[in-house]
A and B are shown apart, each in its own frame.
Chain A
């Protein structure tokens, strides 16, 4: 942001005299590599950065003229393909800034496919929202157990009725997709139901009807991916798992990522027999190692069976309809369902990207520059389809940034530093910033503060629940580089700390803050002694590297 603002008031001459290689590479390299010629890029940049007037038709015209060299009267300033979090956000904001906007989306269904989707997208219909509703429901069984320790007694064991939950969940999804439609309508965004396909850099085909637009935004998201093994047609993905006709008696979940763990927690809470098969020794690759250990232990204590270093090889359906999973270590039988949570893939097939020359990476993600622009200058992409950080709030950030870039004359790059995230496993995880492993690699010398305690609630309930908290601090600058927590309320607790860490605050700032008593969160401001000090680099190297990072971060 700061960079973009300063450049806005800088003349091209001064621009070229800038010496920082970082600045140049940030600003130019990607855009250059995508541009058909440097001259068209320069005019693009000029309009983007130097236009003194906002919202004027002429300015936007000149933008298009220079970018496409093909004057045209377009139906819309922006045509968005895909009405999920990112697409809806970008469209609404673009319309607010005065652009004429249309958005297309597939008809609503709880299961996504080439012909079904729904306004609201993955987050609202097949992700965050339904998932969290199921987490809420499944958490009750743990709460019932806890409540026993607090004097509550049930004449008969509480029973769960899956169909009530699913009916109430689906009613809520219908309500939400309606709300999203209304939001679009109230923002003057034209909603077109159907499958959007790019025909040329300024034309989208929706079920046979053609629409032209100055800019096209691709925000079609991603979809679960099931690897091709014998019997994989019997497997289900997370879409289906959120909308099963009945509660599984026994379920296999393949994968150790956040989706796998969240569903393992859901079905375990609803009293299914849950088996998780992971290829590695530990769950949640990419997370802090201590968090990986801790969450695995806690979930196992709640009754989930982990099969580590086991890769699925085949699924066999037996005569009674039950499924068995064959792995490199053996076969486990009797599953009502086998769910694969082995990854998601961008929805880039059959939407015309190849025909217009939009570059796609090996995983199928659309390649974009820092402004979310694809290799075709009039085509942009945000959200999971670009496979940057696949989180709803990040897609929202990208959507807002794009609307500002295109229609507010404020070129805005999304800022991917210190993006917090949560895993709604049971217990849940919250995290922001670097893992210990990343911090050691990037900074060398770090101090690690940890706290592993039995929460007040568990001392009464008698359950083996624990909470783990961790702060990673740069030894030289005292800046907090990372925060991780696994335990009740972790996602809610982490948000405020994310503000502090994003603002570059130090361990000293944490210590100077008075605790809120009695809470779990207060532990983060009362960690007085480092659990360990890691010294990897020799003193001189460490200092210089740290100082460079610290300066860059401010």
Chain B
């Protein structure tokens, strides 16, 4: 309703302006979270917008993509669907002590889940296309390429090429999972394929311990697979709070995942019994599936950036200023292709701010402080603000750490041995809460509201004056009365775990 109204107003404005020397005010390459948001919002401001995206396919490649992008088609959404599917495994175990008698034989039909997941993302792909067309954005299916500071070329599926001029070009082509350079790497898969496997693997080796690695490890374990997690560091989830990393490691192990810390993969060999995985310690593991979750690289190679001189960094990420502008003034970039903070809501924020800056007459810089995030391993981890290690490094005074480790009420009956852990990191001098983290059921849902409080500089006292919701896990965040430890200013945190 509102967007339509603004569009018609914009049309009136434009006819008055009479400066339509370009085909488009904005041409967006890439129809993922950031690109779609920027396109829609720019159109709402009255801009004439075109957007191109590769044809839809659940697995991305040089030839395939789809409106909705990584998040909708090969990331957050299908991942979360599988997480839901996998979580039932543990839930069913827990049900017995609550009085439920379950048949010994419980079937899990992977093909059914896969089909429903694919149906859902196909539906969402359609939703995204409709969102664009109802916002008045012209969509193109094909590979986008930059041919000049104000010129793009779209190669359509049938090979025909279209060329358009645009006042502004926005690159929002995202990123793609990478294969490590080891012998036999072609035997492994990435998260793209893992979301669309034909069969549920009986034995899996996951290489890496970032959020994607631990999420897939949890999914498969929940579905009954034997899962090995192989990673270079002492603990999974580098970059997160060390104490919480240890909690996640313990929980993954508690749920039956075999951890191989301080280990690298040396080689994969195809055998009759499956893939033989050899580690750098000489250990041999047999697997039906080997997942590489060792990193993602920006999709900047096929954009022809060299032709116009758009600068990229060593890993291929497009360099941008605080307003998401590249070194070529008419070319902008947002989302994973810029490798700033690779999260959907951050790409959305960058897309919104880009539209505000370029077409809304309101230059605005995305604010990267206190951005919450979640890892959907089982149980999940969520956090906002600084880790204890970051707080110690950055604080000008003492840091107070409040922790709570408790047996969630559900476990008192189910008998599951798994603690929920919560943590607040507080600046002793100002009482400001610098960081919050939680590992336990519902952590991502719980953290969202806490994130608002942190974003606005809430103090520990403000947490304490909030009354709890009883009985919940979340109430623990407002009832942490005694300091677990005080870290004096000048302490060097132990790192490189």
Decide whether A and B are members of one complex: yes
Please list the residues of chain A having a beta carbon within 8 angstroms of any beta carbon in chain B: 1, 123, 128-129, 132-133, 136-137, 140, 143, 146-147, 149-156, 158-165, 168-169, 172, 175, 391-394, 396-397, 415, 418-422, 430, 456-457, 459-460, 489, 491-500, 502-503, 505, 509-510, 512-522, 524-525, 529
Secondary structure of the A side of the interface? helix
A175 to B344: give the CA distance in the assembly, Å: 45
| Given A129-B409, A422-B472, A491-B472; A496-B452 close (CB under 8 Å) | yes
Q: Which of B59-67, B143-151, B457-465 contacts A (4 or more CB under 8 A)?
A: B457-465
A147 to B85: give the CA distance in the assembly, Å: 7
Sample of 16 further A-B pairs with CB below 8 A, known A123-B470, A420-B467, A513-B448: A136-B409, A154-B103, A154-B107, A163-B99, A164-B99, A418-B466, A456-B84, A460-B116, A499-B462, A505-B452, A514-B451, A516-B372, A517-B344, A521-B445, A525-B451, A525-B452
B450 touches A499 (CB 8 A): yes
Residues of A within 8 Å of B412, CB to CB, are: 133, 172, 175
A493 touches B77 (CB 8 A): no
Please list the residues of chain B having a beta carbon within 8 angstroms of any beta carbon in chain A: 2, 71, 76-77, 80-81, 84-85, 88, 91-92, 95, 97-113, 116-117, 120, 123, 343-346, 348-349, 367, 370-374, 382, 409-410, 412-413, 442, 444-453, 455-456, 458, 462-463, 465-475, 477-478
A489 touches B445 (CB 8 A): yes
B77 touches A143 (CB 8 A): no
A49 to B40: give the CA distance in the assembly, Å: 61
In-complex Cβ contact of A516 among B367, B374, B453 (8 A): B374
| Given A495-B472, A516-B373, A516-B374; A136-B413 close (CB under 8 Å) | yes
- Nearest chain A residue, comparing its CB with the CB of B117: A460
B105 touches A155 (CB 8 A): yes
B470 touches A499 (CB 8 A): no
B84 touches A518 (CB 8 A): no
B109 touches A161 (CB 8 A): no
- Nearest chain B residue, comparing its CB with the CB of A517: B344
Q: What would 26 A/B residue contacts be, using CB atoms closer than 8 Å? A: A137-B98, A151-B113, A152-B88, A154-B106, A158-B95, A162-B99, A168-B98, A172-B413, A397-B467, A492-B442, A492-B469, A495-B449, A495-B466, A495-B478, A509-B456, A512-B455, A514-B343, A516-B372, A516-B373, A516-B374, A516-B382, A516-B447, A518-B77, A519-B445, A521-B448, A525-B451
A398 to B367: give the CA distance in the assembly, Å: 40
A502 touches B462 (CB 8 A): yes
In-complex Cβ contact of B409 among A1, A132, A147, A422 (8 A): A132
In-complex Cβ contact of A140 among B98, B372, B409 (8 A): B98
A465 to B101: give the CA distance in the assembly, Å: 25
B445 touches A520 (CB 8 A): yes
Residues of B within 8 Å of A496, CB to CB, are: 446-453, 474, 477
| Given A123-B470, A150-B113; A161-B449 close (CB under 8 Å) | no
A518 to B371: give the CA distance in the assembly, Å: 14
Residues of A within 8 Å of B117, CB to CB, are: 460
A530 → chain B, closest Cβ, in Å? 11
- Nearest chain B residue, comparing its CB with the CB of A505: B456
A400 to B445: give the CA distance in the assembly, Å: 29
In-complex Cβ contact of A168 among B77, B97, B113 (8 A): B97
- Nearest chain A residue, comparing its CB with the CB of B1: A529
- Nearest chain A residue, comparing its CB with the CB of B72: A518
A502 to B348: give the CA distance in the assembly, Å: 28
| Given A151-B113, A456-B77; A494-B450 close (CB under 8 Å) | no
A492 touches B110 (CB 8 A): no
- Nearest chain B residue, comparing its CB with the CB of A132: B471
Residues of A within 8 Å of B100, CB to CB, are: 137, 140, 158-161
Residues of B within 8 Å of A489, CB to CB, are: 442, 445
Residues of A within 8 Å of B92, CB to CB, are: 147, 152
Which 8 pairs between the two chains have the least Cβ-Cβ distance? A496-B449, A495-B474, A165-B99, A521-B448, A497-B449, A151-B113, A137-B98, A496-B450
A155 touches B116 (CB 8 A): no
In-complex Cβ contact of B458 among A137, A492, A500 (8 A): A500
A429 → chain B, closest Cβ, in Å? 11
A55 to B417: give the CA distance in the assembly, Å: 43
B466 touches A498 (CB 8 A): yes
A66 → chain B, closest Cβ, in Å? 31
| Given A489-B445, A492-B472; A500-B98 close (CB under 8 Å) | no
A140 to B413: give the CA distance in the assembly, Å: 14
